[in-house]
Amino acid sequence: MIKITSLKEEFCNRFGCDGFVYAAPGRINLIGEHTDYNGGFVLPGAVEQSIVAVIKPNGSKRVNAYACDMQMQYGFDIDDPTGPEPVHARYVYGVVREMMSAGVKVEGFDVVYGGDVPLGAGMSSSAALECCFAMAMNEIFKGGLDRMTLARIGQATEHKYIGVKCGIMDQFASMHGRRGALMRLDCRNGEFEYFPWKPVGYRLVLVNSCVKHELVGSPYNERRESCERVAELAGVETLRDCTWEQLDALKLRLSETDYRRARYVLGEADRVRNVCDAMQCGDFEAIGEQMYLTHEGLSKDYEVSCDEIDFLVEVARQCGVTGSRIMGGGFGGCTVNLVKDEMYDNFVSTAVQAYKTRFGIDCTIIPVVIGDGARRILD
């Protein structure tokens, strides 16, 4: 985790007092990608990498913020209906406004924050930011909201203030994480179950491609719209309710793109169930097989991979890695890899060298430890 002492010192230097410390983690998702906004199931876990904020009410209606990682200072009035223009500031502004809409009596505050959740890596740094501030405001201003409500406030911030129609998985995982456990979440009704994650003899590791392809338009929203079109034609609320028989019957009425994207979503629903069954009996080889199948679908049918990520997955396969796939929204970011202990060192060194040779850039290795969700950190 980021050094809390340095954030506290920065806060004291800027605002002349001590503040309360809150943290919220990023997340990994073992399986279940792009299923959340389709009403399906996901299997995420919180990680140790987090966003940390030092915060204290200031008795006014103004928020004074300093983002350490970006060396960015900004402020806004909590009653301003428009808010700040910089995208990063709008995350904090959006959470403030959504907390107020939920009936929390938010006041102005001073805050310094930073974190070690890699940006653009598919680990949901934005959700960690939203959940950190939602948790802090809920406690400091005695909002009394439960964790799922706070997660939905983070999701609403993405929708209304950032323009990304994300599902609930990222914020849910950041809020509800538990050390040593993954969570199977039903994204339709919010019901979830903890699954112990103690892969003896295996490790999870992320390989960050350190690339993020910015495509024209909003490719994330476009894929969601594809799924919504198919669901409407099938006469169901979301693709979660669409059967393989219904999809096949619609094939001639769908564009090839919409069909392939729906095919991926239905296949991923099957894979989530398969992985949960495999977890119950400790069959990590079966889990890895499903991870590779997910990547194939994300790359070929959903088209959210890229050359760099496909290369890293192929290196993993050649090194005998049990499972590997792209993680997150796509178009760059990380692969998540399930690796046997005895293969770990060779895989890491091979991936780093081969990637540098092929693309001329350095990838980074991020060991995964499943950690706790949003919380206050006491001295």
Q: Which residues on neighbouring strands pair with residue 324, listed in sequence order?
A: 337
Three-state DSSP class for residue 107: coil
d(C-alpha 134, C-alpha 95), whole Å:
6
Pairing of strands 62-67, 109-115: parallel
DSSP string, 113-151: EEE-S-TTSSS-HHHHHHHHHHHHHHHHTT----HHHHH
Q: How far apart are CA 295 and CA 312, in angstroms?
A: 11
Residue 13 CB contacts under 8 Å (≥ 6 apart), including other chains: none
- Which residue has tokens 């178009």? 331
End-to-end CA distance of the chain: 15
The two structure tokens encoding residue 102: 């939920």
Would you say 276 and 43 are in contact if contact means Cβ atoms under 8 Å apart? yes
170 assigned to active site: yes
Say which of 170, 258, 301, 372 is annotated catalytic: 170
Q: Which two tokens stand for residue 198?
A: 């103690």
Catalytically active residues, by annotation: 170
